[in-house]
Chain A
Amino acid sequence: MSEEGRNAEEARYRALLELDPSSAGARETLVAGLHDESWRVRRAAAEGLTRVPEREVVVERLISVLGERDETGARNAAAESLAGMGLAAVEPLVRLLGHADPDQRKFAADILGQLKLAEAEEALVKAMLEDVDLNVRVAAAEALGHVGGKVAARALERTLHDPEPLLQLSALESLALLRHPPPLPELVRLLGNPMLKRSAYRVLGLIPQVAATELVCRGLGAESRSTREAALVALGTQAGLSEPSQRTEMDAAVRLALKRLPEAVGWVASALESDDLELRAGALVAAAALREPQLAPLVAEVAQEERLVPEVMRTLAHFGPETGRELLASMDRLSFPAREVAGLVLVEMVDATYVPELVQMLDWGELDLKAVAVQGLGRTRSLEAVEPLAQLLDHPELAGPAVRALVTLAGSFPKQVAQALESALERGAEPVVLSALVRVGGTAMLPLVRRTAREGSVALRATAVEVLAAVEPSGGLELARVALEDESSRVRAAAVRVLGQVGDARMSGLLKRALADEALEVRLAALEAVGECGAVEQVAELESLVRHEDGAIAFRAVRSLARLGSLRDEVLRSAVSHGDHEVVKAALLAGAASAEGVSLAVGLLGHANWDVRAAAARILGASGGRECLPATRAALAAETDALARRALVDAVERLSGR
């Protein structure tokens, strides 16, 4: 396009975008836009028309454009617009199904398919069964695949016996879309028809029965690649639909079939690399049956499609430990998602003989690979794994996993692990090491903890306070009092948490100060602690914070009041009107046992957030009386959210039984 042409097109396009669809004359301007030479303009016009008021008139106008025989662009744009019109378009299009021109009738069927509205079912069934033009019948059969319904499914099944193969084919495809397989014997007949074979396999996949699997397996042995692939696709669908017990039987059948086909490894490999998701899913099932180690990296790569990850993991687990090394060796060449699943599976497979390879993997640079190696080392039950893991304890991102791995190893080598942790701590390792040390070494480590609480880094001091309290409450409490004066807010917050966990109401004074600390972190910890240790003196303070605009503060205030058993009705009411839905839910939960709480829950059945509505329903189910039933029923009738509905259904059921 020339510069000038482009500018003119841009101007026409902008003009349509800026046009107010409800203004006078907008409709005809947009209709003219449907006839523009530029697809961008046509699309903008089609979209604009869906927003013009008086839908009925617009729909009729669009239908008249469908009749403009030589205007292909405009007709397609009009069809696109009609497909966006919803229910208003159904009846006029159904009428169009009776037009004298078969071309118009076909258009009508196509658009009704795109609208996907059940209201068109009957008319489409009639068109499929009775229209004199084959193209129209085929279009109607295809549309029914999107529209669905019981009548449609039965009619489609009958159409499988129509003499027109094209019609049989679209009926079969639509049944596949509707996930409505015809009976097996019927399918056996269709599998013999070269033209219908592929679609018949697809439908066969919808039947998770071993008899169906056996039919699919015959397809796996076919000469033609397209039949084999169709069978693989069916296999994947079946696997996805089958129960675990059926699955074992299925696997056995597939294994038996594939063992007789030496070239299977080759074509399964290429199916694993195909672009077609369904084909890959089927190839996974076949690979699990074959268990050829060389397939393992290809199987792992299928994880690039996240929807197939569970199946990939299942398949790799099927391969068994001998495959572990194959995976390990190819780890650094795999894509990121493949590495992730391979890592997860590998960790389950390792034993003491893997240590050298895993240690080598720690040198590989990429963090995710190192993390796998760390986890794997923990599972080797080998003394050799302790030292390399200890080396990682001062690595900020790997210390956590390394500590967990070491704690696992401590099951077999407690002394060695404790020693490694201790010397890491002396080197200035990450704080997680300290808690692990106490877990592994027990009370013998307490002097070290006390020393760390005085002399360590900020992070270590904070951890030490909490660790000590966990093992020796009275000593912990004493240490916490001292730590409340620490210059670091992190340490003070830890001390406050300890007061909450092991202290009692006598801590009130200390917590009062903490509630006024300059650091948010400390204040948040104090809010929690007040409730935990029963510091009722602070109730007034908490009550004033229930309305705090920071949800974090209000949430904790509500929870602590509830714990103290001091949530007054008035405060409860103000909490359920908080802007943060988590605060509202916390309040609902706190008030569950009170009459006020139940009556508030009834009101909250109409809350803007689905999770609050669900929570309110649960409260009513648990604590409401029969008098709540009408309101709950009414809420259920109006509910559109699936999860909230589930809670409401349950609540109605429980309330009805009271």
Chain B
Amino acid sequence: MPFDTGKPEMTAEEFRLLRDFVYGHCGILVRDDMKFVMQRRLWPRLEALGLADFSAYYRYLRFDAQRRAELETAIEALTTHETYFFREPRQLKAFSEEVLPQLERRNARTKRLRIWSAGCSSGEEAYTVAMLLKDSGRFEGWDVEVHGTDISRRVLVAARAGEYGPSALRATPPDKIARYFIHVGPNRVRVRDDVRAWVTFGHHNLQEPDSGQIGSRMDVVFCRNVMIYFDTPARQRVLRLIYDKLVPGGYLLLGHSENLINLSADFELVHLRSDLVYRKPEGGL
């Protein structure tokens, strides 16, 4: 292979130490077969810091005066931020056609709606949700907030900027592009201000419940394609957090390859016409 020449290999021990350290901090489990991926993503950090091997890097993360900042950079390098607008259309259809009308009825008195995109990456999911709320025409004049959070500060910068290229739009229908984006360059668009007005972003580590401000109780939580990186105890911690943050009867929407089997029986499975979703029972505290 023409790759990777002259760079230090990560030993099995270094891998374990780094993996456990990262896991302890943010619940992300780097599987055993992912040593290659970890090594590849951290090489640039060794190079940038002038360190000879991964043991030195591990000690840097533990003991250097700059350790906190470096840990964030490492997590940044190790997390996958793949996302795009209108991802998982079947679920979004169920959300628009069945969940939203119900929320409109339930919250008719307060005219208030809170939706949380947990692990929002660069913001596409949160903006998509806001666009669907606009599309429904049900919530104009309401107090609406779609709150996106992520552990990576770098993706949050991108999310707040709200500017995207073709990759982010690869599943977006042209009529939605016309309605909700403005062109800012030959290959770039920006989310329109009326959509942005409903969306906020904040830093939050899902494994450290107190790390960010998730103030009010949520009507819906999107936590899609985030728990896939966690192991069972870490998933359970996140689910407990989400359960607490949901209003009774509130919905939890997971990615299409995810489910709660063997993780939590606290939520009930609801069969909607186009998809299955989870809900916190009405009687739940």
Contacts and interface: CB of A to CB of B under 8 A. Distances in A.
A307 B80 CA distance: 13
Interface of A: 3, 6-7, 10, 13, 40, 43-44, 304, 306-307, 309-310, 313-314, 317, 332-337, 339, 344-345, 348, 363-367, 400-401, 404, 493, 520-521, 524-525, 551-552, 555-556, 580, 582, 610-611, 614, 643
Contacts of A7: 282-283
Given A40-B265, A307-B33, A313 B3 contact: yes
Nearest to B67: A552
21 contacts: A40-B265, A307-B33, A309-B36, A310-B36, A317-B2, A333-B167, A335-B82, A336-B81, A339-B167, A345-B3, A364-B165, A364-B187, A367-B158, A404-B47, A521-B65, A524-B63, A552-B65, A555-B59, A582-B62, A582-B63, A643-B16
B258 interface: no
A643 B12 contact: yes
A347 B71 CA distance: 27
B178 interface: no
B1 A611 contact: no
Contacts of B81: 336
B163 interface: yes
B148 to A, nearest CB: 17
B281 A10 contact: yes
Contacts, number: 101
A270 B36 CA distance: 27
B241 interface: no
Interface in B26-56: 33-34, 36-37, 40, 44, 47-48
Given A317-B3, A404-B47, A552-B63, A3 B282 contact: yes
A643 B13 contact: yes
Contacts of B209: none
A317 B5 CA distance: 14
Interface of B: 1-3, 12-13, 16-17, 33-34, 36-37, 40, 44, 47-48, 59, 62-65, 67, 80-84, 154, 158, 163, 165-167, 170, 185, 187-188, 265, 268, 281-284
A552 B283 contact: no
A6 B281 contact: yes
A333 B64 contact: no
B265 A43 contact: yes
A334 B188 CA distance: 15
B13 A13 contact: no
Contacts of B40: 309, 344
B80 A336 contact: yes
A44 B266 CA distance: 11
A89 to B, nearest CB: 19
Given A43-B265, A348-B3, A337 B82 contact: yes
A173 B12 CA distance: 33
Given A367-B154, A555-B62, 9 more contacts: A3-B282, A43-B265, A306-B37, A313-B1, A314-B1, A333-B170, A551-B62, A555-B63, A643-B16
Given A348-B2, A400-B48, A10 B284 contact: yes
Contacts of B64: 524, 552
A393 to B, nearest CB: 15
A365 B62 contact: no
